[in-house]
Amino acid sequence: MDKTTYNIKMPMEQIRNIGIIAHIDAGKTTTTERLLYFTGQVHKIGEVHDGAATTDFMVQEQERGITIMSAAVTCFWDYNNKRHRINIIDTPGHVDFTAEVERSLRVLDGAAVIFDGRKGVEPQSETVWRQANKYKVPRICFMNKINLIGGDFEHSFQTLKDRLSPKAVAVTLPIGKEQELHGYVDLVKMKAYTYDGVDTPTLNEVPIPEDMMEKVNKRREMLVEALAEQDDVLMNKFFEGQELTTDELYAALRKGTLNMNLFPVLGGDSRTAMAKTLLDYITICLPSPVDVPPVKGIHPKTGEEIEMHPDENAPFSSLVFKIVNDPHIGNLSYFRVYSGKVEAGSYVLNSTKNIKERVSRLVLMHADDREDVTSLRAGDIGAIVGLKDSITGDTLCDESKPVILEKIEFAEPVVSEAIEPATKSDEEKMTDALTRLVKEDPTFRVNTNQETGQTIISGMGELHLEIMVDRLKREFNVVANVGKPQVAYRETIKRAVEQAEGKYIKQSGGKGQYGHCWLKLEPNEAGKGFEFKSEIKGGSIPREYIAPIQKGVEEAMKSGVIAGYPVVDIKVTVFDGSYHEVDSSEAAFKVAGSMAFKEGCRLGDPILLEPVMKVEVETPDQYMGDVTGSLSSKRGQIQGSESIGNGMSKIDAIVPLSELFGYTNELRSITSGRGSANIEPSHYAEVPRNVAEEIAGKTK
């Protein structure tokens, strides 16, 4: 690692924890590289297409030219005679790795959203925008790639206002477009700047071009009016016709951005010295840890709500948001410190699991580099080496002041495939490797098919599973064979069953087994999951046998009655039964609970559910008919379509996942390589009876 230390202490007001988020190929990683270069943190620019980007350090990222795992880096930027520490997390753009964006946004204070200036808002842009809304993350926007053919700031800016937020305000305007792009006008300062090309650090102040004055004045007026609305004093000055100072405008811009009443928009080419202007606006507009509301949690025992303030003298609280298996030092647990301070060598409480963990080492991360530090404090993002039991979403805190912070919720996997070791020697290694990968990635699951004994891996898409299998080989030296991708179907019931009996009696030479219960089964709301309650009166079943009945039901839910898929969204009530003074046991009631549940499912008009995907296709206009025809043939429902300019249209559809394997290649073929699709989980829906019968037949 170079001699630069990332552990520079500074007032919390001068810290920015931000994410770089975008649709795939908008230029996130390239933008991050330029921010690092112009701040002096790297001395050589790594290009994504060369596989040399600082934040794309995984082999799979370098080969594919995409970001898979979010990476944390730090840089320092001087603005207004103050040094600011900017902690950046570069996130993936591909929908299969959207969990990386989710967990990053959970711990960040602000975000820079990068858009492709040729296309404006793309499908995954909408997804990350919704994620940022969910966590109330203030953001600024950068319309990138205005220098390329088709680059159009006005069109892209309008898509942002129309599709994401009418609160978007332009703070810069490009000078020139496509190959003629060579600078920008800052609408706050009312100054123009040019640059000499890519990677050149100098910005040259020049007069605002005459042919732009009308457009500049119009945009400036719109901006000043939007900023005046952020403050009553400014509003009065504005209506009185007084000129607002640059400092007043910047203060209003910051206030509006922090409150998410405004989303400042810049536009240009992030590879140029304009990246320095982006750094200025990150510093001006995005929050420090003290600008965001205190994080809320609950007391693990009382359930009382607790607020944790960003103060290093307050009790320690933090959230683990990412686990990485480092081949040299073992588990790295990335975490955000919300309050207090933690020291290397100390013990902390994992309040989620109610266990103590030793903080053997603390490190600051710079992509795949690390710097050991003695302590981390409120506002810091770092990693702990060697935590044994903590996973993503766990709270680490002061034992004397326990708190559980809100967990991160992740989408359920939708694609599965069988995996087996290629040789006997790979068998043990594979089990260990899969355990480690599950710990790293909360959307990656591993289970064993009870009937076949096969190991099944599940994830968010074909690419997700492909990457995981590749990592098994590269990182863990495990060669594995995989089957064809399978859909993660679910089962449920359509109608209530008032009574379903489970009776387990076994008599042998010694003590027998006796368990007997009556259950009521009801469909639950979609997405509500499993609910269990007891209405036992009069002691027909002793209290100690209620929990085993529930356990038996939960085990039976793992394999439904139609095709053996997990059962979801169901309410179960135990209301009667009987027991034997001598022969009854927890094990017997567990079996009885399982038997009654299976019987209830058979009586409850069981149905098969399938994951349905939201599909957004961008295609040249001439292929619209072919694309819609293809989607309809896959049991797809067209939700709408619209022209997005430049001879391109967007089609929205919902399509069952089972019909979409290999669709990306098919779309390329239909559109002569010019179409693109964004596919993300939408909901589960009932499988048509004829299709369900076919699926059930294959599993028997």
pLDDT of 202 reads 87
Q: What is the mean pLDDT of residues 217-231?
A: 92
CA distance 118 to 645: 10
Which of 60-69, 285-294, 345-354, 507-516 is predicted with the least confidence, judged by mean pLDDT? 60-69
Highest mean pLDDT among 98-102, 388-392, 500-504, 619-623: 500-504
Is the pLDDT assigned to residue 556 strictly greater than 90?
yes
Among 29-38, 89-98, 286-295, the range of highest mean pLDDT: 286-295
For the record, the structure tokens of 66 come out as 């995409």
- Give the C-alpha separation, 336 to 379, whole Å: 7
- The answer to whether 103 touches 408, Cβ cutoff 8 Å, is yes
- Residue 561 neighbours by CB under 8 Å, 6+ apart: 491, 598, 601, 602, 606
Helix, strand or coil, per DSSP, at residue 75:
strand
Task: Give the Cα separation of 336 and 323 in Å (integer).
Answer: 13
Q: Is the pLDDT reported for residue 50 higher than 50? A: no
Average pLDDT over residues 355-376: 83
- Strands (E) across 262-374 are located at 263-267, 295-298, 305-308, 317-326, 330-339, 341-343, 347-350, 355-358, 361-366, 369-373
| Per-residue confidence band for 327, with pLDDT thresholds at 50, 70 and 90 | low
Task: Tell me which of 619 and 601 has the higher pLDDT.
Answer: 601
pLDDT score at 367:
56
Helix (H, G, I), strand (E, B) or coil at 503: strand
Kindly list the distances between the CA atom of residue 254 and the CA atoms of 228, 231, 278, 349, in Å, as whole numbers in the listed order.
Answer: 12, 11, 14, 37
The C-alpha atoms of residue 194 and residue 196 are separated, in whole angstroms, by 7
pLDDT the model gives residue 57: 35
pLDDT, residue 462, reads 77
What is the residue-averaged pLDDT of the chain?
85
- pLDDT(450) > 70: no
According to DSSP, the β-strands at 570-578 and 530-534 are parallel
Task: Reply yes or no on whether the pLDDT at 332 is more than 90.
Answer: no
Query: What is the pLDDT, as a whole number, of residue 93?
Result: 45
> What is the pairing mode between strands 15-22 and 347-350?
unpaired
Average pLDDT over residues 241-249: 89
Q: Per-residue pLDDT for 226 more than 60?
A: yes
- Please determine, for residue 530, whether its predicted confidence score (pLDDT) is greater than 50: yes
pLDDT at 4: 55
SS3 348: strand
Supply 188's token pair.
């706050």
CA distance 419 to 33: 37
Res. 62: pLDDT tops 60? no
Give the pLDDT confidence score for residue 509 in this predicted structure.
Answer: 63
Q: How far is CA 67 from the centre of its chain?
A: 13
Residue 451 has a pLDDT of 54
596 pLDDT tier (thresholds 50, 70, 90): very high
Give the contacts of 665 (CB within 8 A, at least 6 positions apart).
none
pLDDT surpassing 50 at residue 405: yes
Question: Looking at residue 166, what is its pLDDT?
Answer: 93
105, 20 Cβ separation under 8 angstroms: no
Q: Would you tell me how many other CB atoms lie within 10 Å of the CB of residue 538?
A: 6
- pLDDT level of residue 322 (50, 70, 90 thresholds): confident
Closest by CA position to 79, among listed 26, 24, 31, 14? 14
Pairwise CA distance, residues 385 & 401, whole Å: 23
Q: Which of 290, 207, 189 is nearest to 248 (CA)?
A: 189
Looking at the chain, the whole-number percentage of residues with pLDDT higher than 90 is: 42
Whether residue 597 contacts residue 553, with contact meaning beta carbons closer than 8 Å, is answered with yes
Looking up tokens 């390589």 gives 673
Distance CA 387, CA 380 (A): 18
Query: 67, exposed or middle or buried, with CB in 10 Å at 0-12, 13-18, 19+?
Result: buried
Structure-block tokens of residue 8: 């520079």
Please, are residues 191 and 286 in contact by the beta-carbon 8 Å criterion?
no
Mean pLDDT of 24-40: 82
Residue entry with tokens 């957004």: 616
Q: Kindly state the tokens that stand for 205.
A: 């102040």
Q: pLDDT band for position 60 (50/70/90)?
A: very low
Give the number of residues written for the chain: 700
DSSP for 646-688, written as a single string:
TTEEEEEEEEEGGG-TTHHHHHHHHTTT--EEEEEEEEEEEPP
Name residue, tokens 């990350």.
128
pLDDT, tens digit, 9 for 90 and up, residues 431-442: 888 888 888 777
pLDDT of residue 173: 95
Residues 279-304, mean pLDDT to the nearest whole number: 91
CA gap 601, 561 in Å, rounded? 7
Q: What is the mean pLDDT of residues 278-299?
A: 92
What does DSSP say about strands 110-116 and 15-22: parallel, antiparallel, or unpaired? parallel
Separation of alpha carbons 254 and 250, rounded Å:
6
Give the relative orientation of helices 274-285 and 28-38 as an angle to the nearest 10 degrees: 90
Question: In 98-202, at which residue ranges do the beta strands (DSSP E only) sit?
Answer: 110-116, 139-144, 168-170, 172-175, 183-186, 191-195
For residue 34, give the nearest of 283, 272, 280 by alpha carbon. 272
Mean pLDDT score, 169-179: 92
To the question of pTM greater than 0.85 for the whole model, the response is no
Query: pLDDT value at position 368?
Result: 59
Tens-digit pLDDT profile for residues 123-146: 778 878 888 888 899 999 999 999
**In which band, very low, low, confident or very high, does the pLDDT at 92 lie, cut at 50, 70 and 90?**
low
Q: What is the mean predicted confidence (pLDDT) over 393-400?
A: 91
